């Protein structure tokens, strides 16, 4: 294959990158390449191998959608999370890369427990990303996932089909009373954006993610306050909660897990950019 026979797609990707950058897309080059790979049935590392004659003009339809700030994952119908490829689309929160470090910490915590078959509960599961990652990477775990929103639940059902994850339709704040005092780890990526921050939220999230998955009261912490009570009920003594929050909420969330309410070692943990991203706490005996 001569250089000229494989230059068209890369030239189009370069032009698309400029368009996406002008539209304010945070990762214009990556998105332009990912959409090119999606349309042409290849991956980003092999775009230069697509012959000019195979260029598909539908590529520009996907670029126009991304230019309008439709999420990349809604266009391709897939999201990558740790070692998983998930099906996503309108009606479900798209898992973010920063949550991978939250799950990584939780996986190490469960592996360190002296428990043959640890019981894990993922509250506000959305697409099922967290629950599936734990089930995959901690093979002996028994993982339960809870989701209230019916739209998100439909996507979670698709993703957990054939896995060991047990999916429950219900409210995270009253979920799974049959597991009270038996759970080793509770994990959640709950809504935590303050209602006052609506205008500052990226269009991909504000206009496309379910509102139920984003906002939680004036300070963004209403759901986490409720999760503290749920986790206190579900966890055995020595069990651990892991809950994601905004980096701007660092220092606030650990105070929601006080010692006088049966918690110990409440602390913020950093993400890969060394920003406070999630809080962990240990349930102590009553």
Domain boundaries, the chain: 3-68, 91-283
**CATH number of 91-283: 3.40.50.300, 3.40.50.2300, 3.40.50.150, 3.20.20.80?**
3.40.50.150
Confidence band of 269 (pLDDT split at 50, 70, 90):
very high
The residue-averaged pLDDT of 41-57 equals: 89
Q: In this structure, what token pair is assigned to residue 61?
A: 């339809």
Confidence band of 272 (pLDDT split at 50, 70, 90):
confident
The residue-averaged pLDDT of 210-237 equals: 92
Q: What mean pLDDT, rounded, does the chain reach?
A: 92
Residue 104 clears pLDDT 90, i.e. is over it: yes
Instruction: For the full predicted model, state whether its pTM sits above 0.95.
Output: no
DSSP structure class, residue 27: S
Alpha helices in 113-170 (DSSP H): 129-137, 150-160
User: Could you count the other beta carbons within 10 Å of the beta carbon of residue 270?
Assistant: 14
Confidence band of 197 (pLDDT split at 50, 70, 90):
confident
The residue-averaged pLDDT of 68-78 equals: 95
Distances (CA, A) of 58 to 52, 75, 278: 14, 12, 40
Strands of 48-149 (E only): list them: 78-81, 84-87, 119-123, 142-147
């Amino acid at each position: 294959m001569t250089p000229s026979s494989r230059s068209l797609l890369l030239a189009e990707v370069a032009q698309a990158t400029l368009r996406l950058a002008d539209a304010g897309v945070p990762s214009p080059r990556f998105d332009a390449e990912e959409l090119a790979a999606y349309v042409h049935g290849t991956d980003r590392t092999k775009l230069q191998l697509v012959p000019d004659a195979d260029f598909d003009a539908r590529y520009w339809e996907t670029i126009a959608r991304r230019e309008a700030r439709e999420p990349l994952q809604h266009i391709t119908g897939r999201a990558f999370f740790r070692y998983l490829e998930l099906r996503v689309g309108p009606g479900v929160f798209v898992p973010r890369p920063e949550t991978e470090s939250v799950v990584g910490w939780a996986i190490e915590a469960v592996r360190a427990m002296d428990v043959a078959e640890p019981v894990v509960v993922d509250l506000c599961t959305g697409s099922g990303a967290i629950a599936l990652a734990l089930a995959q990477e901690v093979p002996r775990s028994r993982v339960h996932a809870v989701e209230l929103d019916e739209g998100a639940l439909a996507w979670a059902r698709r993703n957990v089909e054939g896995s060991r994850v047990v999916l429950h339709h219900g409210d995270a704040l009253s979920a799974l009373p049959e597991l009270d005092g038996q759970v080793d780890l509770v994990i959640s990526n709950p809504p935590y954006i303050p209602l006052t921050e609506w205008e500052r939220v990226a269009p991909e999230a504000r206009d496309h993610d379910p509102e139920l998955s984003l906002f939680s009261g004036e300070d963004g912490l209403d759901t986490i306050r409720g999760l503290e009570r749920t986790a206190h009920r579900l966890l055995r003594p020595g069990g651990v909660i892991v809950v994601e929050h905004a980096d701007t909420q660092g220092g606030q969330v650990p105070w929601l897990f006080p010692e006088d309410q049966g918690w110990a070692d409440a602390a913020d943990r950093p993400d890969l950019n060394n920003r406070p991203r999630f809080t962990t706490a240990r349930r102590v005996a009553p």
